[in-house]
Amino acid sequence: MAHPDDAEILIGGTLFHLKALGWELGILTMTSGDCGSATHTREEISRIRYAEAKAAAETLGAWYECAGLMDVEIFANAENQRRVVERMRQFNPDVVITHSPVDYMVDHEETSRLARAACFALSMPLYQTRQIAPAKPTVATPALYYADPVEGIDLAGERLWPQFYVDITETIEPKKEMLSCHASQRDWLRAHHGVDEYLNQMARWAAGYGEECGCNFAEGFRQHLGHGYPHSPVLQQALSSQLKSRKQPTE
């Protein structure tokens, strides 16, 4: 994902379901959120948010790494690609979930491009990341999934429908707890809005997806089914008890 807290907001409930199934989880963010403050310096907020992201990942028992890019400067170029592939090779994932290729912020869209290209490059023995003591190429290309874009809409404001939903009614509380670890962002919004908008907004979005698929809270996903990527529905099968599809309109 692009920034600390994106994984929590977009797919946190699903991650807790996967944890309960015994999956080993890792979160890789492109940046440490170095522009996420109106009061701190970039260095200060970067350190604070890195620690918050690590603490959030710990509530999930997940590995956490940051690729060391800068906010609003995430671009799919060769140097950034090498950093992302290196960190993904370290974790060696079977499944990758990233941002929607179309999203409200270019940082998210470029992260999606980097993750998609990285999945393809992970197992290429001749693709070298030029790091000190580089991780080994992986054996296979991971299955690639896209989270819903923020607010579920494309650049023209149209709903970008998920292929499937995951019912997160049972994991909304740990999802909230995980998001609460990002105190700098929560406090900032609370001071600005006078209410706990950070948690409220996340819950509103999850409730909106829930309404679309007939449960209280949900998260939406699409699988990348282009040539060269695994087509087996590994995530859908693992989450079959929570899997939901869009309710058909009654009129």
Cβ 20 to Zn ion, closest distance in Å?
A: 26
Single-letter code of the amino acid located at 77: N
110 within 8 A of 99, measured Cβ to Cβ = no
Contacts of 192 (CB under 8 A, 6+ apart): none
Return the residue of 4, 6, 210, 221 that touches Zn ion, per CB under 5 A: 6
Beta carbon nearer to Zn ion, 30 or 88: 30
Quick one: DSSP state of residue 214?
T
CB of 2 to Zn ion, least distance (A): 4
**Taking the complex as a whole, how short is the minimal distance between the CB of residue 108 and Zn ion, in angstroms?**
6
User: Does residue 202 bind Zn ion (CB under 5 A)?
Assistant: no
Q: Does 57 bind Zn ion (CB under 5 A)?
A: no
95 vs 105 by CB, closer to Zn ion:
105
CB of 153 to Zn ion, least distance (A): 15
Minimal distance, residue 141 CB to Zn ion, in Å: 25
Per CB under 5 A, which region of 3-11, 77-85, 112-120, 155-163 contacts Zn ion? 3-11
Q: Does 52 bind Zn ion (CB under 5 A)?
A: no
Cα of first residue to Cα of last residue in the chain, in angstroms, is 38
Q: How far apart are CA 249 and CA 167, in angstroms?
A: 19
Q: Give the number of other CB atoms < 10 A from CB of residue 247.
A: 12
Closer Cβ to Zn ion, 124 or 155, answer by number: 155
Binding mask 231-250 for Zn ion (x = CB under 5 A): --------------------
- The reply on whether position 3 binds Zn ion by CB under 5 A is yes
- Which neighbouring-strand residues pair with 143? 95
Minimum CB separation from Zn ion for residue 138, in Å?
26
Question: CB of 34 within 8 A of CB of 185?
Answer: no
Query: CA 74, 49, 174, 1: dihedral to nearest 10 degrees?
Result: 10
DSSP track, 118-156: HHHHTT-TT-----SSPPPPPSSPPEEEEEPPGGGB-TT
Those residues whose C-beta lies under 8 Å from the C-beta of residue 215, and which sit 6 or more positions away, are 165, 167, 169, 244
97 binds Zn ion per the rule CB under 5 A: no
**Residue 118 vs 215, nearer CB to Zn ion:** 118
49 binds Zn ion (CB under 5 A): no
Q: Between 3 and 89, whose beta carbon lies closer to Zn ion? A: 3
Residue nearest to Zn ion (CB): 3
Joined tokens for residue 42: 């970039």
Output DSSP code: residue 159.
Answer: B
Q: Taking CB under 5 A as the rule, does residue 54 contact Zn ion?
A: no
Span from 1-9, 82-90, 218-226, 240-248 in contact with Zn ion (CB under 5 A): 1-9
- The residues of the shown chain that bind Zn ion, judged by CB under 5 A, are 2-3, 6
